Structures are given as C-alpha cells and as structure tokens.
Amino acid sequence: MALKKETHLPWITVEVAYADSSQQVVVSLQVEMTCTALQAIEASCIRQQFPEIKNLEKRIGIFGKSVSVDTQLQNGDRVEIYRDLYQDPKEIRRKKAALKLAQRATSVKR
C-alpha cells in the first residue's frame, strides 16, 4: 500500500480532491515516492465517502491536466477526481444559439 510505513523509501506529500454538488473534500497524504494516482486515491478513502465514483479512467487529473491512473506522483501534486458533466457544454451553446436565432426571427416578423 502507498501509505507511510516503516521502509527506507523517501516520502512525498500529495492531496486527493473530489467535489460533488454539495461539498468538496481534499485529503492530504504522506505516500511513498513511487505512489501512483490510483494508489493515492485508494489510500485517501474518498471512494468510500462517495460511492458514485466508479470508473476512474479518463476522469482524473493533476492540477487540471488529465492523467492516467498509473501516473507516478510528485511531491505537492493534487490528484483531482472529475465528475460526469450533466450536460455537454457544446450542446448547451448550440441550444442557446438556436434560441437566439428563433428570437431574432420572431422579432423581425413583428
């Protein structure tokens, strides 16, 4: 496991962060310098607090940059677990543009 034990490997400090619509949790950990993002997530126990966190592939990042679960962490890294988007931002923009066009068309007819 990646949590601090009696070994001779150097330790690093990392954070694991997750937020849902009602709260944000950031867990600070001391882990072995060979720790991966997945090992830090498991050591943080965040998945027990938020059972909705399922498949982590393509859903985690370090300081906003997407990474894989086997990425080795550096001292000071913050592993962020991302939620699914409720609506696609591109689809929202399309709907807004269509609404504006419809409003212009009705205002020109009047």
The domains of the chain, with CATH numbers, are 11-109 (3.10.20.30)
**Among candidate residues 58, 53, 62, the one with its CA nearest the CA of residue 15:** 62
Q: Is the pTM of this model over 0.75?
A: no
9 or 47: which leads in pLDDT? 47
The SS3 of residue 89 is: helix
At 91 the pLDDT is 80
Count H helices, E strands: the chain? Answer: 3, 5
Of the pLDDT bands very low, low, confident and very high (cuts 50, 70, 90), residue 109 is low
At 43 the pLDDT is 96
pLDDT per residue as tens digits for the range 74-107? 999 999 999 876 667 788 788 888 888 888 777 7
